[in-house]
Amino acid sequence: MQDHPNNKNAVARPVTVLGAGAWGTAVAIALAQRHAVRLWGRDTAAMQAMAADGENKHYLPGFPFPAGLAVEPDFDAALAHAAGPDGLLIAACPVAGLRPLLEQLKTRAIGNLVWLCKGFEYGTGLLPHQIVRQVLGDTVPAGALSGPSFAQEVARGLPCALTIASDSAPLREAVVSAVHGGNIRVYGSTDLVGVEVGGAVKNILAIATGVADGLGLGLNARAALITRGLAEITRLGTRLGGQVETFMGLTGMGDLILTCTGDLSRNRRVGLGLSQDKPLDQIVQELGHVAEGVPCAKAVRELAGKLGVDMPITNAVAGVLFDGVPPKAMVARLLARDPRDEKIAPASPN
């Protein structure tokens, strides 16, 4: 992982954010402090309301848009803004929406492309970078921007550290030039698989931690879940080709700790709702946002089964979400597992 110097003298770049949810809006607000940013979303009426209100009252209320941020309801105009070699196009949709968005992009001119989504595509088991390559090929400079970050804190301007993962050194440098600076620190990585696996699976483990906290199992149980959850992330990630060191960094351990312990975590809130025996549909409706850990749990359970990777916590969460297993029974099953030596090394049993 490569550190970069302070970026206070970076040249302003045209930036377009495709996706006006909480995270996309927060990134747009943060980058608009130094760049000309366009924010686009699929719902034209919602975009017009944002333009009139000067904020995203539905997904990120209380954060006025800075002068450098303009709402752009026209898709082609939004793309054209960041189409040049110095531009930065940021896909801020959920994993389920990435392929449809890329299908819209593949017949248009694209400069540097970055995505923010974290998860596996259900049905294919593909990571975001694999979806990008499948739809767009290898000709577009592209990468994943990930790390421990809550939308509200980024929009507020509080410090955070992120990782840009890409095979393209020019793309990594372009993202660092655009994003690194002020209260945002950016590190570079070539380990796309590791960065994306960490960002995806930690959401599942946050659901497990939310269940444990909601059942009042204590801080000891929370620490155990986080630690053994990191072992699961590492096992799956290395099996897919990720590097062990990545899972000890921002997009592994860092994102896992934040999502499992922070009260702003949507996935943790899903677990808290499950511990109260609320139906999943009700929990998701009350959230009003996408909780990526829900579809990811189904995709990862299937993928781990095909690969022969042991992921007991993930399987337990999927059992509660999709098989009707009561949360207390989930905990009992995990505690009833046979004792064994503690290992986090690749391909070792949990």
Give binding residues for NADPH as ranges. Answer: 23, 42, 59, 118, 151, 266, 290, 292
Q: What single string gives the DSSP state of each residue in 283-350? A: HHHHH-S--THHHHHHHHHHHHHHHT---HHHHHHHHHHHS---HHHHHHHHHTSPP-----STT---
Tell me, yes or no, if 106 is annotated catalytic.
Answer: no
Task: Kindly name the residue from 8, 57, 106, 202 that is annotated as catalytic.
Answer: 202
Known binding site: residues?
A: 19-24, 42, 59, 118, 147, 149, 151, 202, 255, 265-267, 290, 292
Known binding site for NAD(+): residues?
A: 19-24, 151, 266
Q: 68 φ, ψ to 5°? A: -80, 0
By CB neighbour count within 10 A (0-12 exposed, 13-18 middle, 19+ buried), where does 67 fall?
A: exposed
- What region, left, alpha or beta, does residue 119 occupy, with left being phi > 0 and alpha being psi -120 to 50 degrees? left
DSSP strand pairing (88-91 vs 14-18): parallel
How far from chain centre, in Å, is Cα 74?
Answer: 26
Known binding site for sn-glycerol 3-phosphate: residues?
A: 118, 147, 149, 202, 255, 265-267
Q: Name the DSSP letter for residue 36.
A: E
| 86-114 burial code (b ≥16 CB/10 A, e <16) | ebbbbbbbbbebbbebbeebeeeebbbbb
Name the residues annotated as catalytic.
202
